[in-house]
């Protein structure tokens, strides 16, 4: 069987009992992603950085694909969690990068008045593999040299 796209456990999480993502129904677009460890997301205060929730996962895919990280539809109402970047984009070349092996995380703000505790193994979001298109005169030749937030460096 050829490897086209999928999930693997990121380095440093091999012994943490991380579950690989699954779709819950045959027509689900997204793979449910779980938290790799207990995490407290503090109630929002002006000037505060978002909280990164570790997944312990990395994703591999075809050259013309990316992985889109989306919030669970129930998170804003039930838990007050909104993704700081609305959606996350994981590029193909993020996989195996030298900084963090391609470990992707979810970035959340908590808009509730109380802190929210996310437990290890709790579903925090979903991941959807997507194709993308490039323009006729695209000349991108750069190569990723790092992990989180490194695309423009």
Confidence of residue 147 (pLDDT cuts 50, 70, 90): low
CATH T-level fold of 6-131: Deoxyuridine 5'-Triphosphate Nucleotidohydrolase; Chain A (2.70.40)
Quick one: how far is CA 18 from the chain centroid? 14
Please name the residue that has the structure tokens 């819950």: 24
pLDDT at 13 over 90: yes
pLDDT at 146 over 60: no
Per-residue confidence (pLDDT) for residue 141, from 0 to 100:
78
CA distances from 50 to 12, 33, 42, 79, 102 (A): 23, 18, 9, 15, 20
pTM: 0.89
The structural domains of the chain, with segments of one domain joined by +, span 6-131
The per-residue pLDDT of the chain, averaged, comes to: 93
Please name the residue that has the structure tokens 């694909």: 65
Per-residue confidence (pLDDT) for residue 140, from 0 to 100:
79
Instruction: Quick: pLDDT tens for 45-60.
Output: 999 999 999 999 999 9
């Amino acid at each position: 069987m050829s490897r086209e796209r999928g999930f693997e456990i990121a380095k440093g999480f091999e012994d943490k009992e991380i579950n690989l993502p699954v779709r819950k129904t045959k027509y689900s677009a997204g793979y449910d992603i779980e938290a790799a460890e207990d995490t407290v997301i503090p109630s929002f205060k002006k000037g505060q950085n978002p909280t990164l929730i570790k997944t312990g996962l990395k994703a591999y895919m075809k050259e013309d694909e990316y992985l889109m990280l989306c919030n669970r539809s129930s998170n804003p109402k039930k838990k007050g969690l909104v993704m700081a970047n609305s959606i996350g984009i994981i590029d193909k070349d993020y996989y195996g990068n030298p900084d963090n092996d391609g470990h992707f995380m979810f970035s959340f703000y908590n808009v509730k008045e109380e802190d929210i505790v996310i437990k290890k193994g709790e579903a925090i979001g979903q991941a959807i593999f997507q194709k993308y298109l490039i323009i006729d005169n695209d000349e991108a030749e750069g190569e990723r040299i790092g992990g989180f937030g490194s695309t423009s460096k």
